[in-house]
Structure 1
Amino acid sequence: MKTKVVAALAATMAVGATCAFAANPFVDVPSDSWAYKSVVELADAGIIQGVDGQYFQGNRNITRYEAAEMVAKAMAHMDKASVEQRALINKLADEYADELNNLGVRVSALENRVGNVKLTGDARIRYRYQSEGDKFKDANGNEKVVNNKRTNDNSWDYRVRIRANAQVNDRTKVTYGITTGVRSFADNGPASSENNVTTDLANVDYNFGGNNWDLLVGRYEYDMGNGHGYGFLYGDTFDGAQLQYHNDKFAATAGYGKFKESLMAGDKDYDGVKTGYGELDGFFGGGRVAGSAVGVYYNDYTVAGGSHRTAKDEFSFDDSWGAYASVNFGKWNALANYEKYNSTDSKDNDPEVWVGRLTYGAANFATPKSWDAWVEYLNADDGFADDDGTFMGSTYSWRDDSLLNNVKSWGVGVDYTFAKNAQFQVMQSFATSAKKGDADPGEETRAQFVFVF
C-alpha cells in the first residue's frame, strides 16, 4: 500500500490534530505539496512518525504492520471522531485485526471500541420427519394419532436472523435483531401476519460497578437455565428487564417480563404469561463462559393481569423451579437438568421433567472439521401441552411437541463444522414411549444446515 494512499485515508482520521500552525517534521515534504496539510496534522497527532523521524518518503510502499500502527493510533483518538470517521476507523481496524492483535490491541478491545456497529446473523435450512404414532380414540370415539405426521410438503423449512450490535460507549451496548421466523418451503408466500419479518431483539445492555453488574432492558432472549441448562420450557423472545451480578465464580440474576412466543404469549384465550424470575449460578474449572456450572432457578407466573387460569387449554402453572449441573471432564460434558411446575388447581397435576445429556467433543463454527456427538434422555410428565397436543413453551430442545409432553425418550445427534461458519447437524429420537395411556408418539428425525455470519 502506498503511503500517500494511507495518508489520504488517515487525513479523515486525524481527529486529534487541531493546530493549524504545527511544524512540519519531515524534510522531504515541501509546503506546496498536495499532502502537506494532512501530513503535518497526522504527524502532530502522533499517527505517523515517518522514517528515522526526518523523512516521510511518500512514494514508498509500506507494510501492513505499519498501516496497522496508524490505525491503532487513530483508534486512540476515537472519542473525538465524527460518525463518518468512526466508520472508516472501524473498517480499517477490521482489515488489520491480526496486525492490531500483534500490536497488543486485543480483539476484545476492537469489539468494544466506541462507535462500532457490527452486523451478525445466522441462517438455517432444516428437514424434520416424524413417523406416525400409535392411534387412539378420544372421548367422542373419534380415532386420532398422538402426533401430526410430517409429510414431504411440510418437512422442509428455513429461518434467517440478522443482528445489529452497536457499542455506544465502553459500558453500553444496543442490540437490534430481526427474524423471518420458521418458514416452510411449501409456502408460496406470507399466509398471515405471523409469517412476516419481526423484531425478536431490541435491547440496551449497560455494565457498571467495575463491569460486574449488568442491566438488560428491552426485548431479549430469555432462557430458563441462563444458557447452561437444557432450556426445556422456554428459550425465546421476551420483553422485560434483567439485573445480574457476575464474576468468574458466581452469578446472581433477577428479572421480570412477558413471554412473546408460543402458547405462553397468549395464543389461546388469555392475554399472555408474565414471570418474575431469579437464578443463582456457580462456575468452576474454566470460568463463567467455558467452565463447568451448577445452578438453581425459580419462576413466579401470572396470567391476564395477575390471575392464573386452570383450564387445560390455558397456562395453569403458578410457579416452577429447576436445577442443573453441567460438568466438563476432558473432551466430555455431562448435563443433568430437573424442573418442577406447580399447578394452580391440584398437586396431582404438578408435572416434572428430567433431562440428561452426555456430549463428546465440541463443534466450533470458527474451526472447520471440529465435531461433537451426544446422547440424551428426556422424561417429561403430562401437563406441558394443551388439549390439542401443542407444547406450551418455545423450547431450546430440538424435539417436536409430542416428544416433549407425557413422554420418555432417548435421542442421539452429531454436529460437524464442514467449513468455517457452516455446520451440519443431525438428530434422531429412539425408544420413545408415552408415560400415560397406550398411544406412543412416533420417532423424530431432524437434519439441518446452519450458517453464521
Structure 2
Amino acid sequence: MKTKVLAALAATMAVGATCAFAANPFVDVPSDSWAYKSVVELADAGIIQGVDGQYFQGNRNITRYEAAEMVAKAMAHMDKASVEQRALINKLADEYADELNNLGVRVSALENRVGNVKLTGDARIRYIHQSEGDKDKAGEPVNAATKNDDSWSYRVRVRANAQVNDRTKVTYGVSTNDISFADNSTASNSDDNNISTDLANVDYNFGGNNWDLMVGRYEYIMGGPRAYGFFYGDTFDGAQLKYQNDKFAATAGYGKFKEGPIGGAWTVNDTNYASAKTAYGELEGFFGGGRMAGSAVGVYYNNIMPKAELLGNDIALDNIDVWGAYASVNFGKWNALANYETYRDAIVNGNGSKDNADVWVGKLTYGAANFATPKSWDAWVEYLNADQFDIAGTFLGSTNGWRNDSLTSNVKSWGVGVDYTFAKNAQFQVMQSFATSAKDGNADPGEETRAQFVFVF
C-alpha cells in the first residue's frame, strides 16, 4: 500500500495544527518539499512516528496495520478537526475497522464519532426440535407441551445508532417476531403482529465518561450481560443509571417488562396478571484484565411488582424479591461461569406460606466465536438446576437464552453447544440438552435441539 492513507490524513491537517511548526523530525524530508508542512503537522500531532524515529521514508509502502495505527491516532484528535476532516477520518476508520479492533480501539469507540449515523442489524434462521418426554400407558406424552415438535423460523432486527454529540447517542430498533416458515398466514405471523419497536432509547454519558444514563426502551438482562440472563428481559421500558470504571460498576434502574412471562397477559389460578414493574440494582467488580476483557463477579437484586385482576377487582400482590450472584472467571482460552438466583414467590399457599424458587447454573466455555473473525469458534457445556416457579409457571431466558419453557422450570438438565464463524459476520450455532429430568417426581420433559444461522450487518 502506497502513502495514500498518509496523504489523506495530511490533507486534513488542521488537526493538531499550530501557528508555528515544530522542528523537522525526519532527516529525509527537506524543508522545501511540498509535503514538508503536512509531515511536520502529522508528526507534531503524534499521528506518525516514522522509521526508527529518524526517517520518514515517504516512498515506502505501508501495511494496513501501520495505516490503522495512524487512523487511530487521528481519531484521538477528532475534537480539533472540522466537519469535513471528521468525515474523512470516519471514512478511514470504517475502512480499517478490523485492524482498529485488533489494536484495541473498540467498535463502540468507533461509534462515538460526532455526526455519525450507523445502521446495524442481524438476521437469524433457526431450527428447533423438541422431543417427547414421559409417556402414559397409551403411549401419549404426559405433558402435551413436550411432544415431538420440529419447527423452522426466522427473525430480522434492524438498529439505527445516531451519535448526537460527544456524550449523547440515540438508538432505535425494530424486530420481527420469530416467524414460522410453516404457515405465514397465521395470526402470529400477520403484518399486525410481525414487526415491533424493541429499542428506542437515549444514552447520555457524563462525569468523565464514568457515568451513563439511559432512558427509553432497551434490552434488560437480569444480572447484566456477564450473568446467565435467566429471567426474561427483552423489550424493557425504563431508566437506568450506571457508574463504571475498569475495576467497578454500579447500576440502578426502574421500569416495566413488556414481554416474557410477566411482561404481558398471563393467568395463574384464575387470576389475570398485567405487565410487572421492577426496580433493580447491580454491583460488579472486574479483575485480571479490566472491565472488557477480564474476569468479573457481581451481585444483583430485583424487586418485581406484579399487578393482578381477580374477579374484576384490582388486588395488590406481595412483591417478588429476586437476589442473584455470579462469577465469570477467565483462564487462558477458558471461561467458567457460575450463577445463582433465588425468587421469593408472591403466591400464597393454602397454609399461608410462600414458596422460594432457586436457580443454579454452571457453564464452562472454551474459545471465542467472533463475528468479525472467520474460522473462530467456541464450545461450551452447562448444567442447570431450577426449582418450580409458581408465578408464571416457568422461568424464561432472554434472547441470549436458548432453552424452551419446559426446560427452564422444575428441571435438572445438561446442555452442550458449539458456535462457529464460517464467514465474516456469519455464524452457525448449535445447542443440545441432555440428561434432563423433572424435580419433585413430576413427568420428565423431552430434550431440545436448536441449530441456527445468525448473520450480522
Calculate the TM-score normalised by the size of structure 1.
0.75
- Higher mean alpha-carbon deviation, 273-282 vs 88-97, is at 88-97
Among candidates 380, 389, 411, match of residue 374 of structure 1? 380
Within a 5 Å distance, the mapping from 1:301-312 to structure 2 comes to 301-304=304-307
Q: Structure 1 residues 107, 255: closer, same or farther in 2, change over 3 A?
A: closer
Q: CA deviation at 1:193?
A: 5.9
Cα separation, 1, equivalents of 2:335 and 2:141: 43
Q: CA deviation at 1:151?
A: 3.3
Report SS of the residue matched to 1:223. Answer: coil
Cα separation, 2, equivalents of 1:282 and 1:70: 33
- The one-letter amino acid of 2:200's match is A
Cα separation, 1, equivalents of 2:118 and 2:371: 18
State the match for 2:251 in structure 1: 253
Q: CA deviation at 1:77?
A: 7.3
- The one-letter amino acid of 2:302's match is N
Q: Structure 1 residues 106, 279: closer, same or farther in 2, change over 3 A?
A: closer
Q: CA deviation at 1:199?
A: 1.1
State the match for 2:116 in structure 1: 116
Q: Structure 1 residues 392, 412: closer, same or farther in 2, change over 3 A?
A: closer
Q: Deviations over 1:190-243 (max 9, x none)?
A: 644663211111111111111111111111110111111111112311110001
State the match for 2:446 in structure 1: 442
| 1:200 partnered with 2:202 | no
Contact 1:78/1:114 (<8 A) preserved: no
| 1:214 partnered with 2:218 | no
Q: Structure 1 residues 277, 90: closer, same or farther in 2, change over 3 A?
A: same
State the match for 2:27 in structure 1: none
Q: Structure 1 residues 315, 424: closer, same or farther in 2, change over 3 A?
A: farther
Cα separation, 2, equivalents of 1:136 and 1:105: 59
Cα separation, 2, equivalents of 1:302 and 1:64: 60
Q: CA deviation at 1:443?
A: 0.7
Q: Structure 1 residues 148, 192: closer, same or farther in 2, change over 3 A?
A: farther
Q: Structure 1 residues 64, 278: closer, same or farther in 2, change over 3 A?
A: same
Within a 5 Å distance, the mapping from 1:310-389 to structure 2 comes to 318-346=320-348, 347-383=353-389, 386=392
Q: Structure 1 residues 396, 113: closer, same or farther in 2, change over 3 A?
A: closer
Gaps of 5+ in 1: 17-26, 30-41, 48-60
- The one-letter amino acid of 1:122's match is D
Aligned length: 410
Cα separation, 2, equivalents of 1:343 and 1:104: 45
State the match for 1:159 in structure 2: 155
- The one-letter amino acid of 2:131's match is S
Cα separation, 1, equivalents of 2:454 and 2:331: 27
Cα separation, 2, equivalents of 1:166 and 1:407: 43
Q: Structure 1 residues 117, 342: closer, same or farther in 2, change over 3 A?
A: same
Among candidates 391, 405, 410, match of residue 406 of structure 1? 410
Cα separation, 2, equivalents of 1:248 and 1:292: 11
Q: CA deviation at 1:444?
A: 0.6
Q: Structure 1 residues 175, 338: closer, same or farther in 2, change over 3 A?
A: same
Q: CA deviation at 1:372?
A: 1.3
Report SS of the residue matched to 1:262. Answer: coil
Gaps of 5+ in 2: 16-31, 43-58, 267-271, 311-315
Q: Structure 1 residues 238, 232: closer, same or farther in 2, change over 3 A?
A: same
Q: Structure 1 residues 98, 413: closer, same or farther in 2, change over 3 A?
A: closer
Among candidates 418, 432, 435, match of residue 431 of structure 1? 435
Cα separation, 1, equivalents of 2:370 and 2:426: 9
| 1:182 partnered with 2:185 | no
Q: CA deviation at 1:79?
A: 8.0
Contact 1:384/1:405 (<8 A) preserved: no
State the match for 1:95 in structure 2: 95
Residue identity over aligned pairs, in percent, reads: 70
| 1:277 partnered with 2:283 | no
State the match for 2:300 in structure 1: 297
| 1:129 partnered with 2:129 | yes
Q: Deviations over 1:36-66 (max 9, x none)?
A: xxxxxx99xx89xxxxxxxxxxxxx999999
Cα separation, 1, equivalents of 2:336 and 2:104: 37
| 1:168 partnered with 2:164 | yes
| 1:242 partnered with 2:248 | no
Calculate the TM-score normalised by the size of structure 2.
0.75
Cα separation, 2, equivalents of 1:87 and 1:325: 42
- The one-letter amino acid of 1:342's match is R
- The one-letter amino acid of 1:289's match is M
Report SS of the residue matched to 1:274. Answer: strand
